[in-house]
Amino acid sequence: DATYEWYKGRIVDRVEGACQWFLHHDNFQRWLEQKSGPLLVSADPGCRKSVLSKYLIDNALPGSDVTVCYFFFKDQDQNTVRQPLWALIHQLLSRRPALIGHA
């Protein structure tokens, strides 16, 4: 697995029913309708952003037309610019191979 997959695997699963509120939030619904652009999830430390993100990556978004690319800033070695850029480019080109010719 790629490092970003390994980090995602370390995140605890959500409790049944948790994270459902986010799917109905106006900002999330507007983002889904846009068909492009980043979805930024921000909150104070300890608010379970990673759990929500893992839920969205694994369950809420795979059936949509959205290409999901992600990165978790968990450890000091994950806080360089190179790490997230590599992960996002790798995911994008893996999921949309037609873009490789433009890289």
Q: How far is CA 89 from CA 84, 96, 103, in A?
A: 8, 10, 9
17 close to 52: Cβ distance less than 8 angstroms: no
What is the per-residue pLDDT across 43-83, written as a single tens digit (0 to 9) for each? 888 889 999 999 988 886 766 677 888 888 776 666 678 88
pTM, two decimals, is 0.75
